[in-house]
Structure 1
Amino acid sequence: MDEKAMGFNESQLKRIGFAEAFTPELKSKMEQGVPLIQHEFKKSYDGDHVKADLHLKKSATSDYYFLNKFDLQLQKDGQANTLNQTFYITSKKATGDSEDGNQQKNKVDNKYTLKEAYNLLAGRPDHKNLVSNEGNEYEAWVKLNFKNKLENGNYEMKQYTKNYGFALENILSKYPIKELTNEQYKQSLIDSLHRGNLQKATFVGNNGSEEKLYISPNITLGALNVYDLSKQRLTTETLVEKQYIGKELADQLKQRVSQQQKQEQKEKQEPAPSQKKEQKQKQAQKQKTDEPVKKQSRKQKVH
């Protein structure tokens, strides 16, 4: 295998966050020209353990390998059960305007890096630039819905576009976070939260005291999830007591939580979308089975 092809294969993994997965063992398989490679890679994030199975396919006309998908398994710190999700790496053509004003098709990757995939499995949202089936580019927060497992074994990937009304910068302004007073630190904070990271921030009390806490966006509540350094989530009451949020915001959050609980209770009583589909199929099959068989008329022979 020439250096150009091997360099392409290595840089492809780097772009997805798998630089450390480019091991001598993987290189050896590529040099042998193995058509399909399934390569295992393990990594830890602050006590959380992830195991990724990379699926690479060799080009039919060159020594280039393409990463089509990776299966990720997460075992959270102190928990015995694991969470699993397959992340696909696809390309779509997005319609855009060229410098001369004419429309052109740009190839855009719909992909998640290893860290983004870990953050999603850990329950945090990720902000992505996506391409619709019609070729239109759009921005959306994405989050896994662990209450709905699809037929392919993946959890439902919910999207919250601008129309949903969640504006991260506006949400951040409701909290006394020191980094927001510096434009550079503020942008770094926003970028990190966009990638789904559990980000450390400095909360400033009314008396000027400072406390380091972790934060993550809560899209459906229109707020932040706030955690102590042990990563235990702080309740709304604690945030009010520490004077990190006002009573008005606290009342709004309690009302939204109550509405969510009612909605979840309602959804529990209704079958999941996949179950609804299965029920409809069974019902249609039953109706077909229950239909009376029409007797065919027998024509008499004329002698």
Structure 2
Amino acid sequence: MDQIRLGDVTVTRVKEYYGSVEMGPADFFPGSPDGAWDEHRSWLAPDFLDAGECVSAIQTWLLRSEGRTILVDTGVGNHKDRPYAPVWSRLDTNFLDNLAAAGVRPEDVDIVINTHLHIDHVGWNTHLDGRTWVPTFPNATYLMTRQDFDFWNPANDHRPRLGRGNQNVFEDSVAPVHEAGLTHLWDGSYRIDRNLRLDLAPGHTPGSSVLTLDSGGDRALFVGDLVHNPLQVVEPETNSCFCEDPAGARATRHKLLGRAAEDNALVFPAHLGGHGGAVVERAGSKFAIKEWAGFSRIA
């Protein structure tokens, strides 16, 4: 498996899906500057833009830190009914086999981090046992922000920007682990161990979070969906169409990219294909890719 070491932490990339998300840039990133995609096409293609469609990876970051096995986001999941997101409906992928190839059985997982509770970040929280959704990682603590848990809970009757795109997700991928007593709902910040800390990073969703890795002089930020595509690094005012609070998402993106540039930290978005992440640097009021992460290009 593709793995790098950052200080005392190993980071392994576990793939679920890679390819088109059946959306073009104008739909996925409706506020992107005129001409930006053509200007940067030479390095965006084919890893992040191909044949006029955006390309994304659905992947889980597997971290081993202080003797614990930690998963950052759990993708889409298999056999889930997603009537308003057909590209993710009733998948049948070999994700658990890929996790096993990295040396991890479901019962080995100690912590699951859901950076936010969108459809493509919580799917493998559960799997079907007969006709019942049960926790996939029965010995894990599932870390979720209280803000996102409350926002996506249908009982609270919120009206998200995503509309019905997240339909069924809370019921089949969040509620079963909560009812099993496996969730820890946190707020503000949460220290996992001396290497890893979670902080709120709202904007994409009310409870979006960022995981900071700081170990042995190495630093990394796992930023979830605050960056979907590297165009958002060079054009940080650009939001995806799925951001609940567009102004908040822009402000948080600027803040996190600025922090990463100052700290020479790797930035790992949830869905970046190619080499999976990058070190960024300031370029006036924007940012630039300084170098790619050490993972092999995903295919």
Higher relative contact order (CA 8 A, sep 6+): 2
Fold match by TM threshold 0.5: no
More helix by share: 1
The interval holding the TM-score normalised by the smaller chain is: under 0.3
Query: Normalization by structure 2: what TM-score?
Result: 0.23
